[in-house]
Structure formats: structure tokens, C-alpha cells
Chains A and B, each alone.
Chain A
Amino acid sequence: MPVQVEDLVEAPQLCLVDTGSTANRFGAWLAEATGVDLSGAPETTLNIGGVTTLARHARAELTIASMRYDAPVSFCDPWPFAFNLLGLEGFLRFFRVTLCAAEDWLEVEPERST
């Protein structure tokens, strides 16, 4: 799913909806590219997909399905994956997601309460 990070309109980032992830996990380069300040951000070492990475926790404005919202994001370095992850706290609690793997589609609708 393409996600606009902050004001990076010209380059929506490809993200994977990960129902098993508690938070959004993005490559750290995105924080620098979009001007998200990570200085003093709390850090955690995480193991994701077989990779140990340093996650710095911050907030970023994301735009998905025409809805812009303020989301918690863990910016990770290293991040060797081809995609970023959309998880529970920073994504699924804001949207209602219907997916059909058999037909290869996914529908996203903002929650009415958000």
C-alpha cells in the first residue's frame, strides 16, 4: 500500500500491512528525508524479520486513503527490507481493513471514530 510520509507527496512509500506488528516500522532514512527530528527519541533494539535493528520512536504525519493523521512510527536502522510495515498502533487502529488474499485485493476505510 502506498503511504505518503509527512509532505513527501512525490514519492509515496510502499508499505506492507502487518497485523502481527504492534507499531509502524519504517526505514530510518525516511526520517531524515522528511525532516522528522529523531534527536533524543527513545530507542529500542528490535528483531524484525530475522534482522536486529535500532528503532527510534517518533511521530509522523501519514496520509493513507486521503486521510492525513499523526501516527507513532519507529524509524529503524538498518532496514534491509523492500517495504515499510504498517502495524496496530500507527495504522490498524485508524482504519478498517478488508482483505481478500484469494483475489489479491485490500480495502482501507478510515474508522469513523478517528
Chain B
Amino acid sequence: MAPFTISGQQFQLERAEVERCLVNVLPDPVHEHYVVVRGRRFPPKQVLSCVTGLDRADFTTHQARRILKRLGFVAARAHREEVSDRRAETDTRDGKGSQETRQADALRPYLGQWVALAGPTEVLVAADRPEEVLAWLARHERRATYGMFRVPASAVEAEGGAPT
């Protein structure tokens, strides 16, 4: 348990509490900075607002990042992924197989979940139910340019039960 002062208020925060708070929360779109909580990328301000109940206007992204890093969460910038997505679309030297491998790697954390993709490896949102994905897209006025689907958790889900 670590003490923090945010917007003039004292908070005692711990990593497990942050993780618990976000179990049923879908991440908002990441614009630049993000923190990784249980394998999902959240905007730092969303996380801190969720945990403290403070308005997002009460603190800065850098404050949120600093606090969450002190609690042991990985914090990073999103632009690297976008660059790698663009490379995945245009780089023909590696061939299609390499691009498919990158996509499979990107989708592996979402097995069995519904995802909306903005690029070959850019997952906008992932949720257990398709309605949650649609609601998120509507709420954030985002578009799944690369489609929406459920990441198959097994070969049967991917290919059906047809004879091979």
C-alpha cells in the first residue's frame, strides 16, 4: 500500500486494488500514453480516475503515469505500435506469412473474445460479448476498419466441424 497525493487529496493505493477495479472495465481509446493492466492497455488517466473516483481533469497524464509506474505497471507510448502496424501493411520483404504471424501474436491475448480491429494488429477493443464491443465503438465514435469478429479459441471455432 503506497500513499499518494492527487489533486490535494490523500490516497492509499496498491497494485492489486487497481487490477480489481478494472476487471469489468473496457479500455478507452489510447491516444499516446498507456499503462498495461492485466494484459490490457488503458489510458493512464482512465485507470487513475477509475481507482480514485477523481475527475480526469483533476490530474495530468504524467501524474497518472508516474503513480501507476510506482505501483509496478508498465507504461509506454502507443505510437510504436502504429508504426509497426503500418509496416505490417506495407512491408513486402518479409512476406505475408510474417504479417499473419504478427497478427496471430497480436490476437493471442484475446482468444475467445470479440475484437474490433483498426489495423491488422491494432485491437481497438476486446470484450466477452459483441454488444459490449458495439457499445464501445459507438461511445468513442471509433470504427473497426479491419472488421469485428470473435478470436477463435479452438480449431473447431475457426474452421467448423467439417472433415479435413
Q: Which residue of B lies closest to A20 (CB)?
A: B162
CB neighbours (8 Å) of B151 from chain A are: 82
CB under 8 Å from chain A, chain B span 131-164: 131, 133-134, 137-138, 141-144, 146-152, 156-162
Interface size on B (CB < 8 Å)? Answer: 27
The reply to whether A12 and B144 contact each other, CB–CB distance below 8 Å, is: yes
Q: A29-B130, A29-B131, A82-B150 are in contact. Are A11 and B160 (CB under 8 A)?
A: no
The reply to whether B149 and A82 contact each other, CB–CB distance below 8 Å, is: yes
Q: A80-B157, A81-B157 are in contact. Are A13 and B147 (CB under 8 A)?
A: yes
Counting chain A residues whose Cβ lies within 8 A of the other chain, the interface size class is 20 to 34
Among A46-54, A56-64, A90-98, the one that faces the other chain is: A46-54
1/0 per residue, CB under 8 A from B, across A33-56: the answer is 100000000000000111100000
Q: Which residue of A lies closest to B150 (CB)?
A: A82
The reply to whether B157 and A11 contact each other, CB–CB distance below 8 Å, is: no
How many residue pairs, one in A and one in B, have C-beta atoms under 8 Å apart?
Answer: 60
- Given the complex of chains A and B, what is the CA–CA distance between A25 and B149 in angstroms? 14
**A14 contacts chain B at the CB level, 8 A cutoff:** yes
Which residue of B138, B146, B161 contacts A49 across the interface (Cβ within 8 Å)? B161
Q: A29-B131, A81-B160 are in contact. Are A14 and B143 (CB under 8 A)?
A: no
CB neighbours (8 Å) of A2 from chain B are: 146-147
Closest Cβ of chain A to B47, distance in Å, is: 25
CB neighbours (8 Å) of A50 from chain B are: 156, 160-162
The reply to whether B137 and A14 contact each other, CB–CB distance below 8 Å, is: no
- Given the complex of chains A and B, what is the CA–CA distance between A2 and B141 in angstroms? 19
Q: A27-B130, A48-B160, A50-B161 are in contact. Are A13 and B148 (CB under 8 A)?
A: yes
Closest Cβ of chain A to B112, distance in Å, is: 9
Question: What 3 A-B pairs come out closest when comparing CB atoms?
Answer: A50-B161, A49-B160, A14-B149
A–B Cβ pairs within 8 angstroms, 16 of them? A2-B147, A10-B134, A10-B143, A11-B116, A11-B134, A11-B137, A11-B148, A12-B144, A12-B148, A13-B147, A14-B148, A49-B161, A50-B160, A50-B161, A81-B157, A81-B160
